[in-house]
């Protein structure tokens, strides 16, 4: 590691497989007194079952740091690209995948 202006520079190696990334649109978070567990999965319309594609386990201090870093980056993103709209934030709109509507009664 190199010292630069009082902060440390970290050299991080990114393997070819990890560089591809894993798509996730749903995360299940659980915790114990000693750790946080983040299970990344993806939900597909009409498919009631999924599996965990990646699991990250971290200490509570690291989880809190991750939360702060995410918040900082979301703020930067929204300043550059505009507010991120959350589905389901409006009372008239639903969140997540919905089953197809049944036949309408007349």
- Position 6 scores a pLDDT of 64
* Sign of the torsion angle spanned by Cα atoms 39, 74, 84, 94: positive
Tell me: the pLDDT tens digits for 32-91?
Answer: 999 999 999 999 999 999 999 999 999 999 999 999 999 999 999 999 999 999 887 665
Residue 90, both tokens = 């409006």
* Confidence (pLDDT) at 3: 47
Q: How confident is the model over 11-24, as a mean pLDDT?
A: 94
CA distances from 89 to 77, 92, 94, 96 (A): 19, 9, 8, 12
State the sign of the Cα–Cα–Cα–Cα dihedral 54, 83, 95, 69: positive
Residue 102 has pLDDT above 70, yes or no: no
């Amino acid at each position: 590691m190199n010292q630069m202006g009082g902060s440390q520079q970290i050299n991080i190696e990114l393997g070819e497989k990890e560089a591809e990334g894993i798509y996730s649109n749903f995360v299940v978070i659980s915790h114990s007194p000693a750790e946080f567990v983040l299970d990344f999965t993806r939900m597909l319309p009409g498919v009631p079952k999924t599996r965990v594609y990646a699991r990250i386990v971290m200490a509570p201090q690291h989880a809190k740091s991750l939360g702060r870093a995410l918040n900082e980056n979301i703020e930067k993103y929204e300043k550059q690209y505009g507010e991120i709209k959350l589905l389901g934030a409006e009372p008239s709109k639903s969140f997540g995948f919905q089953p197809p509507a049944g036949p309408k009664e007349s």
